[in-house]
Amino acid sequence: MEDYHKPDQQTVQALRNIATRLRINSIKATTAAGSGHPTSCCSVAEIMSVLFFHTMKYRPEDPRNSNNDRFVLSKGHAAPVLYAVWAETGYLKENELLNLRKVDSILEGHPVPKQQFVDVATGSLGQGLGAACGMAYTGKYFDKASYRVYCLLGDGELSEGSVWEAMAFASYYQLDNLVAILDINRLGQSDPAPLQHHVEKYQRRCEAFGWHAIIADGHSVEELCKVLSQPCHQPLAIIAKTIKGKGIPAAEDKMGWHGKPLPKDMADSVMKELQSRIVSSSKRLYPAPPSEDAPPVSLRNIRMPSAPSYKTGDKIATRKAYGMALAKLGRYNEHVIALDGDTKNSTFSELFKNEHPNRYVECYIAEQNMVSVAMGCAARDRNVVFASTFATFFTRAYDQLRMAAISESNINLCGSHCGVSIGEDGPSQMGLEDLAMFRAIPTATVFYPSDGVSTEKAVELAANTKGLCFIRTSRPENTILYNSNEDFHVGQAKVVYKTNDDHVTVIGAGVTLHEALAAAEQLKKERINIRVIDPFTIKPLDSKTITENARATRGRIITVEDHYYEGGLGEAVCSAVVNETGFTVHRLAVSQVPRSGKPQELLRVFGIDRDAITQAVRKVLSSSTNAK
């Protein structure tokens, strides 16, 4: 540490004063709110003071500047101390802190990106480090810039497996621009954390995961200044031994104070005592400005260079069409990147990797971390991010997905191998809940393309659509249905088969759309005409096209989907037509946990193949005849 310059006494005192003011403002804000986590804020006051007023380089008047060092508060419940920091920089007005948790204030109970100084929402514990990994990976390998990434974690969240997925990712990719500070304050919410104050055990764990780990006194400004300026050729973990509730005599290192504001009289006397510790100092500390070396990035207008090159009648699996489309999109847009969880030869993201190896990030079998890394890579609009795995494996990252929505994150996810149509691998590999899962997320757009052309269009549209985008792809090869010049839009369905005298409207997607078209040909021989609709996006669903066409078939609708009954295409259609009089919806879907078998056998066994559709059409028609 030859180049370490010890801070002078005035700087040390100024940093201590800031830490004391952070405690005062955290107590004041939580007492005014009548809720919050003052003791969790007090354990990190010195850490926050040193980080923001000695270590980090950033422009306080421009928190989202692309050159700034990044900070992620993984222990999101300590939000008041983060707000106190930004009041200390002058970015927030100090009296605004008294509006903490109020319905008309941006200072919510946990950090959210409507605050300009927050990149990703936190508060569901164990997720901040994964996002920080995405930011650090972007800084080192894509931006090739000098900004650094700091992540503050609590000791309670170190029980989350996702933290250790992130630890493994960071060391594997040698993210030497990443610093994790572990606030080891011993106490969780209802019990002490499992390792309590055994800081050397934390150190050994971090070292086992390939990090350089240093133990420090988390309340010593001098020690923190020193360890935070340590040059390092691997990710750095600072294991800060702290006391929960430090500075609040009645609560220091005591159980029973988590998430409890101080009563007003106690808060007043504690703040008065803390105020008396502030030593007047003429020195005012300002953050150092960052190096201006992050390249300008524009993510506007990410377009395909040409129309799809498929011929109608050709056969291709939509999962392969996804890989081809992604590689093509990346050819003319250098900020498109792809992540995968060791399934790239199944999702076909390997086609992107083969063409653009430097923009492909292998996340291995750690789907929770993959989604968090995707969020970090997308933060501050540095990249257009696509992440892929089997549709069913996104279920284990659902908490990360809902936090991505709260984070206002723009990420694109492709889930392949959906439904029973994957065949022999059996139910553990079949995505049958994914539509329900993504439909429930407020910011999500759900694409379900049925051929190569619509898959390529879905990829292009997803790249330009805000929020979470999910593209559901299938394993079997299916016929190309659309001309390459066909126009696609989010929320616009396609009528793919119709006559002037149709009896029933059938809505299918992916594999089941092709079954519906086969059923239409079969029924034509019996002089029964059906109209077939491809919804293209399940959310938003094109209610107008569905309603208008169903009206032409006297309100008779059949939906058929390779998904469970709950939360999928059928329920989406029911919601769309619920207020229409004289409409009936007959739903075909997978009704129980499936099994192994050949794809066509399983479609038959679970009643979603062409024969099941023709049967359902006959049944719907005979029951309406009987009704007459």
Tens digits of residue pLDDT in 100-113: 999 999 999 999 99
Q: In what order do the strands lie in the sheet with 236-241?
A: 70-73, 149-154, 178-184, 236-241, 212-217
Is the pLDDT score of 162 beyond 50? Answer: yes
CA–CA separation, 557 and 21 (whole Å): 65
Q: Is 160 a catalytic residue?
A: no
For residue 241, give the 3-state DSSP assignment.
strand
Report yes or no: 124 and 161 within 8 Å, Cβ to Cβ: no
Q: Where are the alpha helices (DSSP H) in 379-486?
A: 398-406, 434-439, 452-463
Q: What integer pLDDT is reported at residue 282 of this predicted model?
A: 81
pLDDT in tens, 377-406: 999 999 999 999 999 999 999 999 999 999
CA–CA separation, 29 and 27 (whole Å): 6
Which residues are CB-neighbours of 140 under 8 A, at least 6 positions away? Answer: 173, 175, 176, 177
Over its C-alpha atoms, the chain yields an Rg (Å, rounded) of 28
Report yes or no: 114 and 104 within 8 Å, Cβ to Cβ: no
Q: What integer pLDDT is reported at residue 604 of this predicted model?
A: 98
CA–CA separation, 434 and 42 (whole Å): 41
Per-residue confidence band for 301, with pLDDT thresholds at 50, 70 and 90: confident
Q: What integer pLDDT is reported at residue 562 of this predicted model?
A: 98
pLDDT in tens, 441-450: 999 999 999 9
Q: What integer pLDDT is reported at residue 520 of this predicted model?
A: 98
Amino acid at 570: G
CA–CA separation, 184 and 196 (whole Å): 8
Q: Pick the catalytic residue: 222, 367, 456, 571?
A: 367
Amino acid at 310: Y
Place of tokens 């990719």: 173
pLDDT in tens, 186-237: 999 999 999 999 999 999 999 999 999 999 999 999 999 999 998 889 999 9
The pLDDT of 155-182, averaged and rounded, is 98
pLDDT in tens, 10-31: 999 999 999 999 999 999 999 9
**Percent share of the chain, pLDDT over 70:** 99
**Percent share of the chain, pLDDT over 90:** 97
pLDDT in tens, 524-572: 999 999 999 999 999 999 999 999 999 999 999 999 999 999 999 999 9
Q: Which regions of 69-174 does DSSP assign to beta strands (E)?
A: 70-73, 149-154
Which residues are CB-neighbours of 29 under 8 A, at least 6 positions away? Answer: 36, 80, 83, 84, 97, 98, 100, 107
For residue 477, give the 3-state DSSP assignment.
strand
Q: What integer pLDDT is reported at residue 3 of this predicted model?
A: 60
Tell me the pLDDT of the chain averaged across its residues: 97
Pick from 535, 600, 546: nearest CA to 568: 535
Per-residue confidence band for 281, with pLDDT thresholds at 50, 70 and 90: confident
Q: What integer pLDDT is reported at residue 1 of this predicted model?
A: 47
Pick from 220, 231, 241: nearest CA to 146: 231
CA–CA separation, 499 and 520 (whole Å): 11
pLDDT in tens, 466-476: 999 999 999 99
For the entire predicted model, the pTM comes to 0.98
Q: What integer pLDDT is reported at residue 487 of this predicted model?
A: 98
Q: What integer pLDDT is reported at residue 326 of this predicted model?
A: 98
